Amino acid sequence: MKRVLVIQSKHLLAAGILSLLNREMDLNVFDAMYSDEITLLEYIKDIKPAVLIMDESSQLTNHFSFLSLLNKCPDLRVIVIDERNNRMHIYEAQEIEVGRAADLVTAILGEERLPF
């Protein structure tokens, strides 16, 4: 079972993502609201997710801490959702256009090519 962490900064968007992902039997989904980056980064280290989902407007301002985490967790897949133009930025130097809600699940499961 893949562990997925959804970072909440926009409650409505996070609720939709959680609703979608909780239907998937192969995913163990967690969510986090955070008051500061240090607490969030510690939580990420504790639960060791395979996938981290956040929206582009997330308040993670200390990018060096975040990049340090990614260096320590090379298997972590980070998906940054930009709700304004239906794009997901995936840490692995991929960027895809989201046409359907199922595309998010496909990106999490790590399938090589998304069906467009």
3-class secondary-structure state, position 2? strand
d(CA 5, CA 48): 9
In CATH terms, 2-109 corresponds, of 3.30.870.10, 1.20.1200.10, 3.40.50.2300, 3.30.1330.40, to 3.40.50.2300
d(CA 6, CA 42): 15
Nearest to 7 by CA among 116, 111, 81: 81
pLDDT tens, position by position, 7-30: 877 778 888 899 999 999 999 999
Segment 74-88 shows an average pLDDT of 78
Q: What's the whole-model pTM score?
A: 0.70
pLDDT tens, position by position, 17-74: 999 999 999 999 998 887 777 788 888 889 999 998 888 776 665 556 666 777 777 7
